[in-house]
Structure 1
Amino acid sequence: MTQSAQKTEEPLTLVSHTLCPYVQRAVIALTEKGVPFERKDVDLSNKPDWFKEISPLGKTPVLVVGTHPIFESAVIAEYLEETAPNPLHPQDALARADHRAWIEFGSAILNDISGFYNAKDAESFEAKRAQIAQRFSRLETRVKAAPWFDGDKFSLVDAVFGPVFRYFDTFERFGTFGFFDETPKVRRWRETLSARPSVQNAVSPAYPELLTEFLKKRGSYLSGLIEAKAA
């Protein structure tokens, strides 16, 4: 891959939302690559017209390269791989395909997490909890955690799972759910990722409180646990 031939000097603006895990992926990748960018947060509950024009799906992140918007986090990550230094994908084609597949696995877990915090009753809550724990058990059979997903080089898979694990830092303030009881390598990987500066700085210091307020407003079973904990 000839990244230098594709390199762009256009200014980069990352259009973001304070809680979006897909935004965090892009921030981590940009930070790991040492690429300067401006971050511009939007309120997704009151989307400005200019945002609707550059985001056909109405979602964040959007990376504006000069005046050209690129939407969808996976596309943004691949664009950065082609144009920025410090590649985060493996050079080997088969290894790259494997990493891309596990990135999709990470996206599936994010969907499961949404189902978990939106579950309306104890039965559906437990079903979602068990599904997430099963996902991590499957991940345990692949992750090396030495110290990163595939060994000693930080990759886009690590950039994807940093935001995944961040959710559980907040969840565990309100209960013990056993997500990682049987997955020592995943636990070790999670702890190592949480100490990575690019992962830590992908959100504001107010993130835990902002996420807690978001969860309290879901009207879900987890919302009730949060309220009970605060009482």
Structure 2
Amino acid sequence: MSLQPIELISFKTCPFVQRSVITLLKKNIEFKITYIDLANKPDWFLEISPLGKVPVVKYGDNILFESAVINEFLDEITPDRLMPEDPLQKAKDRAWIEYISQVLVNQFVMSVADNQSDFEKHSTSLTEKLQRLETIISDDAYFNGANFSLVDTALAPLFTRFDIMANTFQKNFLADFPKLAALGKRLTRFDFVKKSVVDNFEEVYVDYLKGKNSYLTA
């Protein structure tokens, strides 16, 4: 299948954009990336993004939005599928991808909390969500077992940020979750995960949190 030109509209610290970049790199799909400032969204972006959020993908003359939708589309138009063919397992994967989206939102809200009370409240909520993931993930190499899937694509940005929190702020949120910690180490070693963020991502991410007066950076 001949692919149309692909352009990904991105914000440098967005974990949902990172999901789509991981999928593009994992599947060796050529693409162009355009960065915008979400605090000052350009008019052309608002015209094509119904929700005013990233990621947005231009596929030829077509517009796609929402990372889970984008990733499934990219998976379906290229070989070596990352989503299962079985309808029930596919539905389960979609459900867990949505759950992981909420975990990412929780991680973000916690990371930008500007006081101890809010930070601890969101940290507790995040820990509860991580506990549920710990009980459901496979004992094998990846979330579902031996094969990498779009659920792993959804999870990887979580670990990218947890690594920075542990290394820079000495906050190890995975200390009590050995299966998640092992999966995180496995995923973040892949080149297609390492290259899914800008080269100076740690610096950009920390500066972003400082700009939000994050309690985490105090």
| TM-score, length-scaled by structure 2 | 0.93
Instruction: Describe the SS at the equivalent of 2:38.
Output: coil
Q: Which moved more, 1:47-56 or 1:206-215?
A: 47-56
Distance in 2 (CA, whole Å) between partners of 1:113 and 1:206 is: 21
Q: What is the aligned partner in structure 2 of residue 155 from structure 1?
A: 149
Q: What is the aligned partner in structure 2 of residue 117 from structure 1?
A: 111
Determine if the alignment matches structure 1 residue 169 to structure 2 residue 163.
yes
Q: Which moved more, 1:171-180 or 1:113-122?
A: 171-180
Backbone CA RMSD of aligned residues? 1.6
Determine if the alignment matches structure 1 residue 186 to structure 2 residue 180.
yes
Q: What is the aligned partner in structure 1 of residue 76 from structure 2?
A: 82
Q: What is the aligned partner in structure 2 of residue 216 from structure 1?
A: 210
Cα-to-partner distance string for 1:8-34 (whole Å, 9 max, x where unaligned): 521111111111111111111111222
Cα-to-partner distance string for 1:104-124 (whole Å, 9 max, x where unaligned): 111111111122122232222
Cα-to-partner distance string for 1:75-111 (whole Å, 9 max, x where unaligned): 2112223322221111211111111111111111111
Which of 38, 41, 46 lines up with 2:40 in the alignment?
46
Preserved CA contact (<8 Å) 2:169 2:216: no
Determine if the alignment matches structure 1 residue 62 to structure 2 residue 63.
no
1:193 aligned partner, one-letter code: L
Q: CA deviation at 1:38?
A: 1.2
Which of 89, 102, 123 lines up with 1:95 in the alignment?
89
| TM-score, length-scaled by structure 1 | 0.88
Q: Which moved more, 1:214-223 or 1:103-112?
A: 214-223
1:123 aligned partner, one-letter code: S
Which of 95, 99, 110 lines up with 1:105 in the alignment?
99
Q: What is the aligned partner in structure 1 of residue 22 from structure 2?
A: 28
What residue ranges of structure 1 are gaps of 5+ in the alignment?
1-6, 225-231
Q: CA deviation at 1:64?
A: 0.5
Q: Which moved more, 1:73-82 or 1:94-103?
A: 73-82
Cα-to-partner distance string for 1:108-162 (whole Å, 9 max, x where unaligned): 1111112212223222212221221221111111111521111121100110111
Q: CA deviation at 1:199?
A: 0.8
Q: Which moved more, 1:172-181 or 1:51-60?
A: 172-181
Distance in 2 (CA, whole Å) between partners of 1:204 and 1:174 is: 18
Q: Which moved more, 1:200-209 or 1:172-181?
A: 172-181
Q: What is the aligned partner in structure 2 of residue 143 from structure 1?
A: 137
Instruction: Describe the SS at the equivalent of 1:173.
Output: helix
Preserved CA contact (<8 Å) 1:145 1:188: no
